[in-house]
Amino acid sequence: MENTLYYGDNLKVLREYIKDESVDLIYLDPPFNSNRSYNVLFKDESGISSDAQITAFDDSWHWGNTAQETYNELVTKSPGNVGQLIQSLYQFIGSNQMMAYLVMMSIRLVELHRVLRPTGSLYLHCDTTASHYLKILLDMIFGPDNFRNEIIWKRSNPKSNITINLPNSTDSILRYSKSHLCKYYQPYGEHNPEYLDKAYKYKDGKGRYRLLPLLNPNDDRPNLTYEFLGVKRVWRWTKERMQKAYEDGLVVQLRPGAVPQYKKYLEDSKGRTITNLWDDIQQAAGNESLGYPTQKPILLLERILRISTDEGDLVLDPFSGCGTCISASQKLGRHWIGIDITHLAIAMHKSRLKNMFGLEPKKDYRVIGEPEDLPGARQLAKDDRFQFEAWAISLVEARPMNRPTHSEPGQRDIHKGFDRGIDGIINFLDDRKGGVKKALVQVKSGKVNSSQIRDLKGVLDREQAQIGVFIALENPSRDMITEALTAGLYHSEIWDRDYPRIQILTIEELLNGASVKIPQTPSNAAAFKKAEKTDKPGPTQGGLGI
């Protein structure tokens, strides 16, 4: 199997690329319809979080042509009674934001059910905004008999308007299986020290132990009714098994006439049984935090994967965001598919896979949907010039700047603000005192001319930046190259080398391996906050049958 990242609408990717019953586990953390904008925070090379940020996605949905067309498809073509349910919800809710959200989620959940194996499970991460509606949809699509759990994850940071509401400190994870054949491995955690002191209070030469009852809760068991050590009761075990355990020193009677009890040693305990209340996993913070607004801790995803998958299974995350599910899958030796609709998210995936596992696209995994040649780049620029800019910026590992956009409601998209002539920034260290220097990036998807180079020179002076990078879809003219040369050189104190102060790079050159010329140190390599490295090897590569 070959691990794969897809850039694009997950509905289209599911329908075009993912075969029926080919996936072992699906984890999705979709927008919650909370009507909020979520920003990504980026790092400075000083190690301090930067004020620069970019909107990762707007978590708001609106009823429009797309929602209406999707509604029509659901009520006319969806399997089973899904169409009837959607009609009923529409009559109850009306054509508003919530209904738009439910329509867009429903059609995707139908496809996710299709691609899941009979032994597979789906985990849908949500909050109270729409969890009650989502559960109804999942009951209809997967069947109420295949509902397994509502897992309650207690976050460490409550969120709510405490002037009118109790602070909300939990999320829900709805767990459904494709059938009764689903894989399931009961998880266990470490015992609480206070519990150990209270429960395992006895000790002998073999270690700490606790005493457990041997009485059978069912009084009507004649075959298990007998006298043992002078006490006649209905026992859990046969008399032969009871005698054997007694001879092995595992059954004790604390005093004559007392009911015998079973000795369970601490070393034989699997640990604390994990229930559906998960209050032992904290939010991503410190070195794990990448600045992504809805990032989940990798321990949360590792637990989910261990419950419902085996090593080598295929995991799908259709809203893969900053790639936590993908990273957990790689770490635990599962194969993976990640899908996201922004180049920002795909760039974060690449950065995380490189930092944690040393993985490189094309060599270690596939990326489908990104331009691979100049015609593909031209098509992306034609379809969505803002996504083209985000993709182009990722080619030089720059961090994008906030810019205004008008994206489809609910899509994870880059929002553009007042960029002041700056599309991206590359921070680098080139100061014996540890000072941070800047390379500013501009991207042009249309016609280019020398006046744009003069403008970039002005931006460098205004921002007191050391280097300017001009990325163009079209080839530069001689006048542009001459104008760039007049900007002069930047001299590196540490490396004692000169670098062109303005550098013009075409998309074609970048696709062929060209790069920005800046002083290179190990800490200058990443635009995003670095994920912690792991030495755990992932699955071996092969062909993915999808």
Q: Which helix (H) or strand (E) holds 399?
A: strand 399-400
Judged on CB neighbours under 10 Å (0-12, 13-18, 19+), 385 is middle
Residue type, 71: Y
d(CA 458, CA 441): 13
Question: What CATH topology corresponds to 4-187+274-368?
Answer: Rossmann fold (3.40.50)
Which residues have C-beta within 8 Å of that of residue 123, sequence separation ≥ 6? 25, 26, 27, 28, 151, 173, 174, 175, 304, 308
For the domain with range 384-524, which CATH number is right: 3.20.20.150, 3.40.1350.10, 3.40.50.170, 3.40.50.2000?
A: 3.40.1350.10
Domains of the chain: which residue ranges? 4-187+274-368, 189-272, 384-524
The amino acid present at 258, given as its one-letter code, is A
CA-nearest of 12, 119, 18, 11 to 336 is 18
Picking from 368, 348, 310, 323, the residue whose alpha carbon sits closest to that of residue 119 is: 310
Residue-by-residue pLDDT tens, the chain, 546 positions: 799 999 999 999 999 999 999 999 999 998 765 555 444 434 443 343 333 444 444 545 788 898 999 999 999 998 889 999 999 999 999 988 889 999 999 999 999 999 999 999 999 999 888 899 999 999 999 999 999 999 999 987 776 667 788 888 899 999 999 999 999 999 999 998 999 999 999 999 999 999 999 999 999 999 999 999 999 999 999 999 999 999 999 999 999 999 999 999 999 999 999 999 999 998 766 555 555 567 789 999 999 999 999 999 999 999 998 899 999 999 999 999 999 988 888 988 998 999 899 999 989 999 999 898 999 999 999 988 888 998 999 999 888 875 433 344 344 444 443 457 899 999 998 877 777 899 999 999 999 999 999 999 999 999 999 999 999 999 999 999 999 999 999 999 888 999 999 999 999 999 999 999 998 765 554 555 556 666 555 544 333 333
